[in-house]
């Protein structure tokens, strides 16, 4: 795999570190020094690339730039509580569970769950998204508020299907496996499809980065693997989406835009 990185000259050292890290993940990173990376430059260079500038490490494409900025989540975290967050009830975060987030995305849900008490293993298979998560975690560790709990998040570079199978083979159990498939099936009802089309900038870039036709992205296999190792599996879905893998959940928590489907281990 190859990727280009645009960077301003003062970030030469950070580029070299990033180049070395991605080589370890089997990605060839080519660099191009740019005098000033601004909105005009991004519009004139619409191809996907990594960017190193005063905002840190970002992914850019189609004139947009995004990063999984955990520091920007602080206001939301400060408002959150075990009672106010539906995800906290679904995942029983008050019991401080061991939790595998098998569909990492930008890591915002994992950050919230760690803040509310969970020990989270955050699994991501795409090398570009993984280094973005590594970068934002390193930035979070420098923040006085985030550093008190971000250590409860462990990043794992792996295919979640393989990772969950390995846990099962080793007879390892966790309290919760959390799934938030990025690409819900296309045969859900029209209302959900319409909402899906109105994705935010960050999700638009993730859709460009990640394959849309893989089974892993739909999450069907993940549910079966997860149920073998977890006391409960919690699946985040658009409110009107069909059940993941057509499996009826044991319980649901319904919100305005999304819901949480829970599958409990059989005693």
Instruction: Return the residue matching tokens 């998560």.
Output: 133
CB 137 within 8 A of CB 214: no
Q: Is 215 flagged in the annotation as binding?
A: no
Instruction: Return the residue matching tokens 């991501």.
Output: 124
Q: Is 35 flagged in the annotation as binding?
A: no
CB 93 within 8 A of CB 110: no
Give the residue among 231, 210, 235 at the shortest CA–CA distance from 132.
Answer: 210
Instruction: Return the residue matching tokens 């849900």.
Output: 109
For residue 204, the tally of other CB atoms under 10 A from its CB is 14
Q: Is 180 flagged in the annotation as binding?
A: yes
Q: Which residues of 71-96 are buried (b: 16+ CB within 10 A; e: fewer)?
A: eebbeebeebeeeebebbbbbbbeee
- Burial of residue 238 (number of CB atoms within 10 Å: 0-12, 13-18, 19+): middle
Q: Could you tell me which residues are annotated as the binding site for S-adenosyl-L-methionine? A: 124-125, 180
- Which residues fall in the annotated binding site? 124-125, 180
């Amino acid at each position: 795999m190859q990727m280009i990185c645009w960077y301003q000259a003062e970030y030469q050292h950070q580029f070299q570190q990033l180049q070395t890290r991605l080589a370890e993940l089997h990605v060839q990173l080519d660099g191009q020094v740019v005098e000033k990376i601004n909105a005009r430059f991004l519009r004139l260079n619409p191809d996907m690339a990594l960017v190193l500038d005063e905002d840190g490490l970002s992914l850019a494409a189609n004139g947009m730039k995004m990063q999984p900025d955990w520091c920007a989540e602080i206001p939301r975290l400060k408002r959150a509580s075990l009672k106010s967050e539906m995800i906290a009830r679904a995942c029983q975060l008050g019991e401080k569970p061991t939790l595998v987030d098998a569909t990492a995305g930008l890591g915002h849900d994992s950050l919230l769950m760690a803040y509310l008490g969970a020990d989270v293993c955050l699994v991501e298979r795409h090398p570009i998204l993984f280094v973005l998560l590594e970068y934002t975690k390193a930035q979070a560790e420098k923040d006085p508020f985030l550093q008190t709990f971000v250590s409860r998040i462990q990043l794992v570079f792996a295919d979640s299907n393989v990772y969950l199978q390995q846990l099962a083979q080793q007879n390892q159990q966790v309290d919760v496996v959390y799934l938030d498939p990025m690409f819900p099936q296309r045969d859900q009802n029209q209302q959900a499809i319409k909402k899906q089309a109105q994705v935010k900038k960050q999700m638009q870039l993730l859709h460009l980065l990640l394959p849309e036709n893989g089974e892993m992205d739909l999450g069907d296999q993940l549910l079966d693997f997860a149920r073998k190792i977890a006391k409960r599996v919690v699946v985040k879905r658009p409110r009107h989406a069909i059940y993941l893998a057509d499996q009826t959940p044991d319980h649901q928590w319904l919100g305005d835009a999304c819901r949480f489907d829970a599958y409990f281990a059989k005693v």
